[in-house]
Structure 1
Amino acid sequence: MPQSRKSQISLIDTPYYHCVSRCVRRSFLCGEDKVTGQNYEHRRGWVEDRLLFLGSVFSIDICAYAVMSNHTHVVLCVDKEQADSWSMGEVLERWHRLYQGTLLSQKYIREDKLTKSELFTLKETAEIYRKRLYNISWLMRNLNEHIAREANKEDNCTGRFWEGRFKSQALLDESAVLACMAYVDLNPIRAKMEATPETSKHTSIQNRIHALIKGEQPKKLMKFVGNHRQDMPKGIAHSLIDYCELVDCTGRCIRENKAGYIESHHSPILERIGINSEQWLTLTTEFERHFHTAVGTEHMLQQFRQHTDHQRIRGMAKARALLQSA
């Protein structure tokens, strides 16, 4: 039985979530349909562009993504504090980048004069919009509906394009976040679509590597901000170079079938998150197989279970086996 979104998302426990959307009946989102010969490769760019655009509108950072032939993976980080800091005007401006809004919000954007009662009503409406702008379901809705409309228009048809709901996994600790990001970034390599991370089109790792070559970080992705220290800025608490090297090394292990072996100079980042190379390779090749609603240490899973009123959480045994050192 499908679980309510409330039981899958708990900002008390974590702002990080892994979301997966799949096409109905394994319809092709992108790539080439071997049955019909039709090529849909250009649609991968649709998804990437729309996702990065939504990251600039919502108070939700894009940590990782991979656009595959019939499904997409994204790792998101909700920033409720940022959304709460926005003025009413900023909330309405962002909302109007997605929707027409109401007659009152349109008047406000045009800087027309509002009565006290109109302003009171508009403030209530803006608070509804504010909550939606840090809501993962609203971001995924804006992504999937847009792509479905464009694909149906191109195919000259109607009807559902995506499965009814996207799958969501809560990433409860640093190890789970990094492992899931690498799992997402390595999707094209595991699927034998690409040979290396830097050639993996329409993925966050290619985006990050291309920026790194220029000595930069992608402006539309959540930044890596270095190792833990006082006064940490917002971002992922590791070096971008370390992460890119680790993903590249892991990709080589997967491609060359060298399970359990990672070169020694890549081990420090794994040591810092408390995972050995064998655990890491299992996580980055079988992440979705072992975990369902949430991913983290056994202690973190128990806390998430209590906060979301689950009777039980699948993956406890694997958490002990794969994340017990984290």
Structure 2
Amino acid sequence: MTKARSTQVCLEATNFYHCYCRVVRSGWLIGNDPKTNKNYDHRRQWIEDRIMFLADIFAIDIAAYAVMSNHYHIVLAIDKAQAENWDVLEVITRWHRLYKGTLLTNKFIKGEPLSEVELDAVAIKAEIWRKRLFEIGWLMRNINEPIARQANSEDGCKGRFWESRYKSQALLDEKAVLSCMAYVDLNPIRAKMHRQLETSAHTSIKKRCKKASEVSDPNALTNQAKGLMNFAGRPKKDMPKGIPCRLIAYLELVEWTGRQIKA
């Protein structure tokens, strides 16, 4: 029996989660369809662009992702504290980048005068939206629904695009986080879609490798790939927000893991 998503997320235990979603009937609705020889690779870019767009809105950091031919993976970290520090204007501004909002919230954004009762209504609505902006379910919904509509429009059809709701897995310690990130980043290599990390299209590892090759100190927080969660360095007291590992160490881990050959 499936469990409600709310029971699978416990921020007291961990804020890191691995999510993945597959297209309907495991069809080739994203990559190259071997039966029809029709290519849908441009849809992989749709998904990658959507992930990066939402990372700038939600209080959820993207640690790793890989968009494959018929599914995609994301490793993410929920930042509840960030959402709680936003003021009402920040919450509404972010939400309005996704949805139209209400008559009162639009008036609030424009700076139009509101009564005390109306301001209370705006504050109540903002609190609802604040919680949604650090919920995995709302992030995944905002990836999947627009992509499904866009793909169906392109195909001139209706119906399901995604096989089912996304799957979610809690990552309970640093070892689990790094292992899962490496698993996600190596997906195209294992599938023999690419031979090198640097050319592994529609993955976070390609972004990280590209940025690392352009700077003198890849481990510096200011020199890491934009839109992705930073590597904060070795675990220590009062360490900055980020993945507790040096970026170069992680790149070496993924490179070494990807070169292991098993029967």
Same fold (TM > 0.5): yes
Q: CA deviation at 1:199?
A: 1.3
Aligned residue number for residue 168 of structure 1: 168
AA at the equivalent of 1:227: R
- State how far apart, in whole Å, the 2-side matches of 1:161 and 1:27 are: 10
- Contact 2:189 2:196 (8 Å CA) reproduced: yes
Aligned residue number for residue 246 of structure 1: 253
Aligned residue number for residue 211 of structure 1: 211
SS in 2 for 1:30: coil
Q: What does residue range 203-282 of structure 1 map to in structure 2 within 5 Å?
A: 203-215=203-215, 216-253=223-260, 257-258=261-262
- State how far apart, in whole Å, the 1-side matches of 2:156 and 2:178 are: 40
- State how far apart, in whole Å, the 1-side matches of 2:127 and 2:106 are: 16
SS in 1 for 2:259: helix
- Contact 1:196 1:251 (8 Å CA) reproduced: no
Aligned residue number for residue 46 of structure 1: 46
Aligned residue number for residue 126 of structure 1: 126
Q: What does residue range 103-114 of structure 1 map to in structure 2 within 5 Å?
A: 103-114=103-114
Aligned residue number for residue 5 of structure 1: 5
- State how far apart, in whole Å, the 1-side matches of 2:228 and 2:29 are: 23
Q: Which moved more, 1:192-201 or 1:73-82?
A: 192-201
Aligned residue number for residue 151 of structure 1: 151
- Contact 1:21 1:166 (8 Å CA) reproduced: yes
- State how far apart, in whole Å, the 1-side matches of 2:137 and 2:163 are: 14
Aligned residue number for residue 185 of structure 1: 185
Aligned residue number for residue 273 of structure 1: none
AA at the equivalent of 2:78: V
TM-score (norm 2): 0.95
Q: Which moved more, 1:156-165 or 1:86-95?
A: 156-165
AA at the equivalent of 1:10: C
The number of equivalent residue pairs is: 256
Q: What does residue range 21-170 of structure 1 map to in structure 2 within 5 Å?
A: 21-170=21-170
SS in 2 for 1:66: strand
- State how far apart, in whole Å, the 2-side matches of 1:25 and 1:258 are: 29
Q: CA deviation at 1:29?
A: 3.4
SS in 2 for 1:145: helix
SS in 2 for 1:112: coil
- State how far apart, in whole Å, the 1-side matches of 2:229 and 2:29 are: 26
- State how far apart, in whole Å, the 2-side matches of 1:24 and 1:31 are: 13
Runs of 4+ in 1 over 3 A off after TM superposition: none
Encode CA deviations 1:85-117: one digit per residue, 9 max, x unaligned.
000000000000000011111111111111100
Encode CA deviations 1:215-250: one digit per residue, 9 max, x unaligned.
231110000011012220000111101111110111
Aligned residue number for residue 289 of structure 1: none
Identity of aligned residues (%): 58
Encode CA deviations 1:234-291: one digit per residue, 9 max, x unaligned.
00111101111110111111xxx258xxxxxxxxxxxxxxxxxxxxxxxxxxxxxxxx
Aligned residue number for residue 295 of structure 1: none
Q: CA deviation at 1:6?
A: 1.6
- Contact 1:26 1:70 (8 Å CA) reproduced: yes
- Contact 2:22 2:164 (8 Å CA) reproduced: no
Encode CA deviations 1:130-173: one digit per residue, 9 max, x unaligned.
00000000000000001101101111111110022100000010
Q: What is the alpha-carbon root mean square deviation over aligned residues? A: 1.0
- State how far apart, in whole Å, the 2-side matches of 1:125 and 1:164 are: 29
Q: 5+ residue gaps in structure 2?
A: 216-222
- State how far apart, in whole Å, the 2-side matches of 1:139 and 1:240 are: 26
